[in-house]
Amino acid sequence: MRESRIALRSIRATNDKDMRGTTMHRRQILRAFAGAALCPLCAPAAFAAETHWSYEGPTGPDKWGDLAPVYRTCSAGSQQSPIDIGQTIAAQLPPLKIAWGKGADLIVNNGHTIQLSFTDGGGNTLTVGDRSFKLAQFHFHRPSEHLVGGRNFPMEAHFVHEDPAWGIAVVGVLMASGTANPTFNRVVASMPPTPGPPVKVDPPIDPNGLLPAGRGYFRYAGSLTTPPCSETIDWLLLADPIQVADTDVARFAQLYPRNARPAQHGNWRFVLRSG
């Protein structure tokens, strides 16, 4: 009997050690992908030169997984994004507590999109339940990457948040045609016309101006929508779109007429809808 208790304690200790090792390994992976979250549409210069990707032709989305071994998940993954939000499950999801107190003062045309970030990365947070994330950057896609009931929108904004312990959470905002949005108008007025290094924006652009009044959202487990398509993303797509002027969308389209990955297979994933 005593030997059985000793053996049981040994098994538990081994399991605890394995669990700690698994948790540490997972956090190491998340920390590595958090670097990608800071600029998921960018790659180190040398690597990018060897593995060019685009939104059309032989380096387009249906070929991403073949361009480099580290992009394999783009074709082999089972939790890829974006998706078409169809049937959903009503759930008691925690409210999104968005506390963005600082404006973005850097803007870059990185060759894939227009992206805004912050000289001082602190102060802008997203809290979901007991998890807290820092806003790293936000960028835009045309047309929207996510669909809702088979319908896409003229554009979509992605607000990328990261935390070394919790991983990456992206708040998606759909952008519909309608009344001009002053914040988006400032974004398109500040866009560098050609790819290059970040430039200063003065005064900074307040990301809160790109949020709808409602905070209802869809939630699902997914991936980055650009190479390496890492399946580390907690997607939080706001249910209500914002309105933007067609003229501002057209100005963005002059630089990026189409920079959206097509919808991917849902693969029986549950999409939750906040109540």
Task: Supply the DSSP string of 6-67, one letter for each residue.
Answer: HHHHHHHHHHHHHHHHHHHHHHHHHHHHHHHHHSTT---HHHHHHS---SSGGGSGGGHHHH
Provide CB contacts within 8 A for 198, sequence distance 6+: 106, 107, 108, 117
User: What three-state secondary structure class fits 97?
Assistant: strand
- Using DSSP bridges, classify how beta strands 89-91 and 242-244 pair: parallel, antiparallel or unpaired: unpaired
* Chain Cα centroid distance, residue 167: 11
Cα torsion 66, 70, 71, 73: sign: positive
Provide CB contacts within 8 A for 240, sequence distance 6+: 212, 213, 214, 216
Q: Where are the beta strands (DSSP E) in the chain?
A: 84-85, 89-91, 96-100, 104-109, 114-117, 124-128, 131-141, 147-148, 155-163, 167-177, 199-205, 217-222, 233-238, 242-244, 272-274
Residues catalogued as catalytic:
112
User: What three-state secondary structure class fits 208?
Assistant: helix
